[in-house]
Each structure stands twice: as C-alpha cells, then as structure tokens.
A and B are shown apart, each in its own frame.
Chain A
Amino acid sequence: MDEHLSLKLDKVIHQKARLGIMSILSVKEEAEFNYLKTQMKLTDGNLSTHLSHLENSHYIRIKKIFVRKKPKTVCRLTEKGRKAFMEYIKNLEQIIGSVPQV
C-alpha cells in the first residue's frame, strides 16, 4: 500500500469536529448553527472557528436568514465540499483496504 496515502487526506476535513460537520451536511441539505452546536457538543466560538475554516476552503456556504423575525445561521455543503468529502472517504477506504460505502 502507498506509504504516503495518509498524507493525501484533506487537512481541512481531517479534524474530528470538521469531519462531523461535513458528515451531517452530507445528509442534511442544510443545517442550522444551533443544531450543529448541539450535535457536535461545541461552544459557539469553537463551532464558528471550524465553520469559518470550512467556509474559507469553499467547502460550505454560510448564510444568515430571518425566520419569523428571528435571525438564523444556516450552513450547507457546496459542490466542492461534497467532492472533497467523497474524496476523503475514498482515501480512508484506500487506507483501510476495503470498507463499505457510507
């Protein structure tokens, strides 16, 4: 097996919180900030940092909307993010050998 395969893993995704965020967004079309915070058990500041990291890499899009006059922060995966996530899984599978698809 390729000795440098683990180096191919995307550094942006290769972090537990960001991997979790990407996993959730790969299923849900959109997810709200508070939902992600609860699921990931992160503080506001921590989550914001991870989201900014993903947004700067153009893996997610963040938008602020108003629902019944209340502001909400909604995140969604971009096409680039989806591809990067699939690539990440493919690389993990290569490392392991053969693992069923997620």
Chain B
Amino acid sequence: MTEDEKKLALQDIAYIKEMVSQAKKDISHFGSGWIMMLWGIFCYIGVAGQRLFFTDGPIIGIWWTGLTVVTIFLTFMIARSHSQGASPKQLRSYARWFMIFWLPLLALAYTLCLFCVFLPDLSLAYISVFILLVISTGYIMLGLMFFRDILFMGLLGMIGTIITAIFFLEYNDIILGVLFGTGLIISGLVINQKWKSLNGRTSQP
C-alpha cells in the first residue's frame, strides 16, 4: 500500500465525516434560531401587554393564551419554511419527537397553573414562575442531551426564576419576561450566526 493511497483514504474518511456531521446538523436545525428569537419577542410582547393593556385577572389569561396560539402558528410557519431539505417522513418524526418532549412538560406547566388558580394558598403570581421553571427544565434536558448552549440557558433561566420568586415576586412578570426574552433572542442570534458560519450562507426566516 503506497503512502498516496493511504493519504487518499484519509481524505475520504475526512470527507465522509464532514458530510455526516453536516447532515446531522441539518436535521437538528429547522430554523431553531429564528424560532428562539420569535419566542423571545413573545416574552416581551406578552409582558408589555399584561402590564399596559390587559391588567385584569381573567383577561390576562386570554391575552397570554391568544398570544401563545399566534406564536405557535408562526413557529410552525418558520419550521416549515426551513424544512425544504427534509423528507415528509423526517418531518413527521421530528414533529413526533418535539411533541413527545414538550407536550408532557407543557401539560405539567398548565397543571401547576391550574393549582395557582384553584388553590387559595397559592398566589397567581406563581403562574409565570411555574411555567418558566418547567421550561427551564426542558432546556436543561435538551442541553444535556444535545446542545451545550441551551443547557447554559436552562440553568440561567432556572436560577433567575428561583431568585425572582424568592426576592422579587411582585415584579416577576417584568423580570422573567426580560430575562427569558433576552436570553431567547441572544440564543437565537448565536445559533443563526453559528449556522451561517457553518454553511457560508444566509439563514432567513
């Protein structure tokens, strides 16, 4: 076996690794940077609306629910526009995976919210605390499984939420809205930047 043949074989292996790693990254992307930024904006708009326009009890719930529905729809649109490379089968398995991961966590968050509404000992102010603790847990789980950046954000979110709940409960909506909103927008920008440098092409919503 000549040195040239060995060199060529090494080049082949390097090329296979590059293609495999690129394909794996493509599977995990699906516009996640833009989706994170969208949910960051959701936090800002939600808190601003709650503080400025929808300040009464039940209407706050309607405001957040309506905003959540709109944001989920926009998330779906972004994911769809970024999924051209994926086959329908892949999309189905991605959607199924997403639901398996997030739906139980969201169900837990809503159950905790219901406790806040129906249990007299629990203040309604804990609603956002519970939701964000559950979401932070989700990010930590995702971070441990896949992405280090998200793990950091989950830990930051959890610590921030706990500190806010203990010391600044009265202003929890503003503090947590800004914390999570900014965190999501920055994470989205970082993901998009990494993606752009990886591909040498512009990622668009």
Give A contacts to B, CB under 8 Å. Answer: 1-3, 5-6, 16, 19-20, 23-24, 26-32, 34-35, 38-39, 65, 67, 72, 74, 76, 89, 92-93, 95-97, 99, 102
Contacts and interface: CB of A to CB of B under 8 A. Distances in A.
Main secondary structure of the interface of B (DSSP, over half): helix
Interface residues of B, number: 25
A29 B15 contact: no
Contact of A96 (B6, B22, B26, B84): B6
B27 A30 contact: no
Kindly name the residue among B10, B19, B85 whose own CB sees the greatest number of chain A CB atoms within 10 A. Answer: B19
A65 B89 CA distance: 11
Give me the 6 closest cross-chain CB pairs, A-B, nearest first: A35-B85, A30-B87, A23-B19, A95-B9, A27-B23, A1-B1
Given A28-B23, A29-B87, A99-B13, 7 more contacts: A3-B1, A6-B9, A24-B20, A32-B86, A38-B85, A92-B13, A95-B1
10 contacts: A24-B19, A24-B22, A28-B87, A28-B90, A30-B90, A32-B84, A35-B85, A92-B13, A95-B5, A96-B13
Contacts of B13: 89, 92-93, 96, 99, 102
B89 A92 contact: no
B84 A39 contact: no
Given A27-B23, A28-B23, A31-B87, A92 B17 contact: no
A43 to B, nearest CB: 18
Contact of A35 (B10, B20, B84, B88): B84
A102 B20 contact: yes
A2 B24 CA distance: 34
Interface in B1-52: 1, 5-6, 9-10, 12-13, 15-17, 19-20, 22-24, 26-27
